[in-house]
Structure 1
Amino acid sequence: MMKMTPKDKNIHLIDSPITPSVAGSWVQGSLPEGCRLCIHGMKMVYFMGGDCSLPSRCKWYCPLSDERKSSSAHFINELPIKNPTNLTAVVKQLVLEAKAMDAAGMSITGGDPLSTSAKVDWVCAIIKAIKIELTDEFHVHLYTSGTVFDNLTADKLEQAGLDDLRFHPAEKDFHRLEFATGRHYTVAAEVPVIPTLENHAYLLHLADHLDMIGADFLNLNEFEMCATNRDALIARGFTLKENSLATVAHSHEYANKFLSEFSPRGGLSIHFCSVLSKDSVQIRQRYLRRANKIRFPYEVVNEDGCLLFIRIEGAASELSQLNLALLESAGMPESMIGLNLARGVLDVPSFLAEDENFIDLLNEYKLKAGILEIIPFREPNLSQIREYTPLMNNIASRILRKEK
């Protein structure tokens, strides 16, 4: 049996030449391990500030929010990082989030995490520390424009234990990718499919170069329109795909056009990732993993990975009486009640909204109640509420029925 090298471990083999992936995505050849983990919601994202050289080829469509374009914006998934310049503190937060969502890997992105020598050293320190904390099997991939990438940086990343390096290069920087080949990490490019003939030619040149230097794969992302790039895209004539809120029209068709022209002449693995896959499948799967890890007994995880429960709000004295009634009169287990008098809330299972005895009991107290659907985070400074449905209509209907 052939011995598997570290690089081989980063490739998930697909048997068929062109295989549908999820939500309109497809793969020809081998699906990268980092992509496989993302699809299953098993990757967390370390956003290392919005520092960027703003290359002309991509600054006009940059999808980063205004908040994240700041050099001081550091996040783990949706969570702002406290003390982002303190290595020990950042590693601790990374490990906590990895455990909270049962992550099997992490992506490092920005901005450009390799834009300066200081950032390169920081990235390498993070990778080494996270591998110590979460084992060498914890998969780390990193994105860079490659603008200043060199042999020294390639050496440092290899020594740190990086698993997967993905470039978004200008044509004048294609040669820099060669510094990364022959390492223990996979080498690839990841770029959007902008539906223009100019970008189509760029993709073919990029794929040819990747194939020539022995790179591992090319990731194509469906072109996306968002709040921060909408005006620039519309000004250039781009439109949204029919029935879509974020997908640029004809990007998928241009990906297929690229594949049909490149496949006969190249053996490079190609993965096309749709906007729907990123925005729905990947985030949903990550939320599901996190929700099932952090849920309280009285919370239900819905199909979107959000947490559902009834929140009752009011005076501490009223909440205390209701809590006692639920425990003693209704016989509810203490684990099925979340009482926080300091915040003036009492949480119970959402199924009680259909229980007439509970509604009758709730009506005896001067309390506000509703079904909450929250994203699976508990951090105080993060907006969590996705939907709130008041229970007053339920209560009013019970009263009317009794009066009749």
Structure 2
Amino acid sequence: MLSKLGFLSTVTLAQAILLLFVTLVFTTIFHPEEVDAQNIRKEFADRLAPMELLTGESNAESDFSAVGANEPGANVPSTSQPEQAEKPPWHPNPLVIGSLMKLAEFFQISQNVLDSGPRVVTDSNGTPRLDPQGRQMIIPGNSILNVLLVALGLRFFAVALAALTGVSIGLTISSMVTNTTQAVLWVPLVLIPQILFGGVVVTVPDMSKSVRTFSHIMPSFAAQRIMDTAALYGLTTPFLTNRTKTPVFLTSRGEKETIEWKEGNESLSHSYDKLSPVNMSWQNIAVVPGWLGQHKQAEAPGSDWSHKEYRDTVESRHDVRFSKGTPFWSLQAVQFATGILVFWNVACYGTILFGLVRKQTGK
């Protein structure tokens, strides 16, 4: 039994990983990641730059102040100080940037890498905020290696756990049924709920409370939560729609999408807010289902009681856990989902042992 289990698990894992790579390859060909082709290389170079280049600070002052105040040479000007303060300009390695861009493009996590870096805190008008010492306030980010390991590792982790759970469910059905007809009847009864309650066909906010509760024990739902976390890890919360019951998440930078068409001889065009490519993951993770729609619509500046106008987008909503600009680092959903998948594997293998004992004893 153990040899059969090991063989099936190994083959299924290999098939699942291969299917993931095939999906990524075809996605790159037919639905590539949309990025700013003109500036993407510069943005990756800035992401790799040392912190000193972002803050504009240098270590020359701290090196000078390290000299003791009571030492004889403390107040003597040094002719070599300017030479020590000057550092060679930082130049990014083209090979490193190119490799990072290709890797991020293949897994479609370019925005995750860019958003996860340190950021200068700014006011609503874009002016950098300063601390009491007059220095720019910096929100520390995460390392590129951390983002790559988590965002990519969670994808493979979800696929592997889902594959192992599928093997355990299949073996459970085999151990419980007595003929082929029963197996044929049981398989769709197990698989169809995985599709319906996984959080893809119907997103979490649109589920009723009872359906949502039932979905939380589904292995497909748990695997999808891990994939959702992988898709969001490192991203900053974007603008949200203001006048929809279910929040719709736009892109991190608020890009526009222009549609052009013709009516007769007249050429027309219109720009629309671009939808986030991971909007479904944002809805599954960030929206509070119990508070869905509990949002006071924000009015546009200049509107009065006689003529109210509403904004199209807002920075925060009562039914969304995060406000605009908040980086997503939470792995709480992964922990809960992993527990659900482990529970399914343990329960299935316990059922398998029970079924085998029953068949051998004839009871």
Same fold (TM over 0.5): no
Instruction: Give the alignment's TM-score, normalised by structure 2.
Output: 0.25
| Greater helix fraction, Structure 1 or Structure 2 | 2
* Structure showing greater relative contact order (alpha-carbon pairs closer than 8 Å, 6 or more residues apart): 2
Return the index of the structure with the highest Cα Rg: 2
| Greater strand fraction, Structure 1 or Structure 2 | 1
Instruction: Give the alignment's TM-score, normalised by structure 1.
Output: 0.23
